Structure 1
Amino acid sequence: MVLGTVSVTDPPTEAAATPVRSAPPHRRPFGLVPTASMITGAAIATVWFWVPLTLFVVGISSIPSVIGFAFASVVFVYLVRGVDWLERLRSEAVFGMGIGVPPRRLSHYTGFQRWLHQLWLDVSSVRFWKALAHHYLRMVYDLLAVGITFALLAFAVLGPAAAMAIDQSDDDAGLSFLPVPVAWLLALVAVAAAAAILIVAPVLDAAIDRWLLPPSSTAALQHQVSALADAREGAVSSAQTERHRVERDLHDSVQPRLVSLAMTIGLAQTKLDTDLPAAKTLIAEAHEDAKSALVELRNVVRGIAPTILSDRGLDAALSSVVQRSQHMGVPTTLDVQLPRRLPDEVEACAYFVVAEALTNVVKHSGATQAIVTVRYDDASDQLSVSVFDNGAGGARITSDDEATGLRGLEDRVRAARGTFTVSSPLSGPTVVTAVLPCA
């Protein structure tokens, strides 16, 4: 849909890919799965160890050749990001520690400049180099642990065999110092040591994960401070936008209606003594103007604090918004799944997202269908609000003072420490999504 002159904005400067979670009490540093993971990691490391290292060396050596350096750098950054993601999946699947994901700074630019800036933000972040250090440290450790294990097992198999062969040979080749009984004893010790390494070594693997994968306390505090600053900026901007909207609505609708009402009553007063029928007609017109002014004033107040929301909850409030949209010519489906009442701020923010989005659908999209979906995720304690329409696309959030619809919604969602996105290709459809934390 085309929402006036609005458009999609850039994401927040700071974002956390996943909420930082505390480690659950059940961990699995021992067992068949951690051991198998260590052996698999060592086997893959025999080849993979050289790939990122080669890219790094090629990139450094290609600095005089700008194209070669740029290509190697981009591949290296994406490689480390992918490795970081896989390592976290492996750690969660193998050890079940629920390690939190460090916050990742996001670029505020757009287009190609955004992509370049994001690469620089990734390379200059502590998270990037900690992920690289973790990956190589774990690879080296797994290679050493599994290598020593296989060396011990090889000795346990070959040592007694060699001792027996030498014992049966006339030429001992100078190896008579290893009698067969001693060889068997050493073989048993080697097998026991190999088994101990396979069982105990994954504990250090888990310790490496706990050391390098979690976000540092400094990074977490920096992200929280930045998120609070962004929320404050959103709250200030949202309040200013809301004030301008109320001023505009009062000036453009309610005030002219009240002026007309006052003029009509004044004319009626002048006609009371000389032309009673005309005075009655004017009083009837004034009565209609008063009712219209009440309706318009009620609409303004509804935009500030809808009574139905506080009295009956989000489901009932959204039902009234959807009915209004249907009466204005856009068939709208509402799908709400809420297990309980949510905090007032969250419900109000969700209500205004749906109300403003549907208003834009009716005014600008030319859509024949709209779908409102509201879901509460108990695991993340977040409310997801989505408004879909099949009309024309091209919705954008801009800094234009006249285009305050989606920008006001974005500010309101930012003030609630949520995320607001708009997907609106030129050919449509348009999906407006807000994710609001409920804690």
Structure 2
Amino acid sequence: MLALLAPWRSLRVVRRLGYVSLDPFVAMVAFPIIAALAGVTIGMASSIILLPAAVGTAWLASVTARGFGRVERSRAAALLDVAVADPHPPLHGSWWQRLLQRFTTASRWKELLYFGVHLITSSIAFSLVISLWSGSIALLVLPLVRPALPADTARFWLFDITTTPGALGAAAVGAVGVVVAAPWATVAISSLLGRLVRGLLGPGAEVAYEAQVQQLQASRSAAVDAAEAERRRIERDLHDGAQQRLVALAMDLGMAQERFDSDPEGARALVAEAHQEAKAALGELRDLVRGFQPAILGDRGLDAALSPVIARLPLPVHLDVRVDHRPPAAVESAAYFIAVEALTNVAKHAQATRATVTIESAGGRLAIAVTDDGRGGADPQRGTGLAGLQERVQGLGGRFQLVSPAGGPTSLFVELPCAS
């Protein structure tokens, strides 16, 4: 039953009814202007003398169509929830080359075609939707207005209603029309209009394909950069930490071996020092290994894996994980590292007193939000670890947003695609 009322949710049907109602009036403004400019252009183009003027009117028609196209895309986004990108590529070269590009780009001809059929499609849609709404409302109020009609009779095309039960039955049909039929028809017809906008005023398949290729290339480059940065970090940590400890350990044991006979006490002290170096090296290796995916993440998920990390931080952190179904392993691992890196930055640089981590899945995406009440001013360009985090997100085709005004607070928002 609730599904039948879906068009009324968030006043969706009201916005779509507004779109259909305004559509023919927008068409009645756009079509005559563009058609007149196109007609003048064609007429002038037949004369060599008027050819320069024809070029000018053709340019004006193109600019006018693009302006109305922007209006239509904005209306579709605001009232139909149909986001349509601008299909026109940037113009390059001299004024003559730019002019030629205006008339050789498929998207501009599709734009003119849209306004050529817009008046017809908008008029048909308007007539159907308004007729259904007005007819449903007329039936709904029939019991109230029938006594005021001649001979208490409501005359319709195929039948007459002369009795009160008949009027009540018509009102019931009208109620169904107002509540269910007319809203669904409005949604269906406006969806067809939205498809027309997307098809003729949006980027073509070749433009969308090119944009997707560029995005994949950028994601691949970011993934390679992130992997290389991670490799350098591991190499640096091993060289500057555990490797130096192990060298000192070997030297201490070598000197102790030489002193066993001549200086037992000194040898014992060197062995004790070597023992401390071994423990320190193990500690540094343990810290380094924490940079890899922990086993508990694969076994029990993000909540269980992040809880011990948060317990070791020097500030209170509230963790809220709302994930109905576990995401793919690669996405889950990335989310873990993103949260850990973000919290590490908070602990090291933010001077915060508390932080919050929220992870939730919705709409085929995994959203991670990390906020703190620190001093703010975080910038990925300063090399605080945020740059590598941003590259990791981009490598997975996700979205990275950092809001960190001076004085705080700082909010990091990350979205990762997790459709399996």
- TM-score, normalised relative to structure 2: 0.62
Question: Using a 3 Å threshold, how does the CA distance of structure 1 residues 307 and 203 change in structure 2: closer, same or farther?
Answer: closer
Q: CA offsets per residue over residues 302-349 of structure 1, 9 Å max, x none?
A: 213333323332221111221122xxx221111111223221111111
Q: CA offsets per residue over residues 50-79 of structure 1, 9 Å max, x none?
A: 9x98xx9xxxxxxxxxxxxxxxxxxx9999
Question: Using a 3 Å threshold, how does the CA distance of structure 1 residues 279 and 47 change in structure 2: closer, same or farther?
Answer: same
Query: Which one-letter code corresponds to 1:412 in the other structure?
Result: R
Query: Which one-letter code corresponds to 1:385 in the other structure?
Result: I
Q: Could you tell which deviates more after superposition, 133-142 or 352-361?
A: 133-142
Q: For 1:320 and 1:376, how far apart are their aligned partners in 2? A: 22
Q: CA offsets per residue over residues 238-261 of structure 1, 9 Å max, x none?
A: 111111111111122112211221
Where 2:282 maps in the other structure, the secondary structure is helix
Contact 2:27 2:122 in 1 (8 A): no
Instruction: Give 1:160-171 correspondences, 5 Å limit.
Output: none
Q: Which has the higher helix share?
A: 2
Instruction: Give 1:2-401 correspondences, 5 Å limit.
Output: 40-41=21-22, 45=26, 83-91=72-80, 101-102=83-84, 138=118, 141-142=121-122, 206-214=191-199, 216-325=204-313, 329-377=314-362, 380-398=363-381
How many angstroms does 1:237 deviate by?
Answer: 0.4
Query: Which one-letter code corresponds to 2:295 in the other structure?
Result: T
How many angstroms does 1:142 deviate by?
Answer: 3.0
Question: Using a 3 Å threshold, how does the CA distance of structure 1 residues 428 and 201 change in structure 2: closer, same or farther?
Answer: closer
Question: Using a 3 Å threshold, how does the CA distance of structure 1 residues 128 and 424 change in structure 2: closer, same or farther?
Answer: farther
How many residues end up aligned between the 2 structures?
316
Contact 1:368 1:391 in 2 (8 A): yes
Contact 2:226 2:391 in 1 (8 A): yes
Q: For 2:187 and 2:266, how far apart are their aligned partners in 1? A: 96
Contact 1:131 1:213 in 2 (8 A): no
Q: For 1:91 and 1:45, how far apart are their aligned partners in 2? A: 16
How many angstroms does 1:140 deviate by?
Answer: 6.3
Where 2:392 maps in the other structure, the secondary structure is helix
How many angstroms does 1:90 deviate by?
Answer: 3.5
Where 1:373 maps in the other structure, the secondary structure is strand
Structure 1 unaligned blocks of 5 or more: 1-25, 57-75, 93-98, 106-124, 151-186, 190-197
Q: CA offsets per residue over residues 281-303 of structure 1, 9 Å max, x none?
A: 22222112111111111221221
The residue number in structure 2 matching 1:422 is 402
Contact 1:241 1:404 in 2 (8 A): no
Q: For 1:313 and 1:201, how far apart are their aligned partners in 2? A: 45
Q: For 1:134 and 1:338, how far apart are their aligned partners in 2? A: 44
How many angstroms does 1:87 deviate by?
Answer: 1.4
Q: CA offsets per residue over residues 256-280 of structure 1, 9 Å max, x none?
A: 2112212221222222222223322
Where 2:326 maps in the other structure, the secondary structure is coil
Contact 1:138 1:208 in 2 (8 A): no
Contact 1:265 1:282 in 2 (8 A): yes
Query: Which one-letter code corresponds to 1:341 in the other structure?
Result: R
The residue number in structure 2 matching 1:6 is none
Q: Which has the higher contact order (CA 8 A, sep 6+)?
A: 1
- TM-score, normalised relative to structure 1: 0.60
How many angstroms does 1:355 deviate by?
Answer: 1.1
How many angstroms does 1:86 deviate by?
Answer: 3.2
Question: Using a 3 Å threshold, how does the CA distance of structure 1 residues 136 and 426 change in structure 2: closer, same or farther?
Answer: farther
Contact 1:420 1:433 in 2 (8 A): yes
Contact 1:102 1:127 in 2 (8 A): no
Contact 1:102 1:216 in 2 (8 A): no
Where 1:232 maps in the other structure, the secondary structure is helix
How many angstroms does 1:84 deviate by?
Answer: 2.0
Query: Which one-letter code corresponds to 1:396 in the other structure?
Result: D
Q: For 1:35 and 1:82, how far apart are their aligned partners in 2? A: 16
How many angstroms does 1:371 deviate by?
Answer: 0.8
| Percent identity of equivalent pairs | 37
Query: Which one-letter code corresponds to 1:373 in the other structure?
Result: T
Query: Which one-letter code corresponds to 1:363 in the other structure?
Result: K
Q: CA RMSD in A?
A: 4.5
Contact 1:389 1:431 in 2 (8 A): yes
Where 1:304 maps in the other structure, the secondary structure is coil
Q: For 2:330 and 2:321, how far apart are their aligned partners in 1? A: 18
Question: Using a 3 Å threshold, how does the CA distance of structure 1 residues 348 and 273 change in structure 2: closer, same or farther?
Answer: same
Query: Which one-letter code corresponds to 2:22 in the other structure?
Result: G
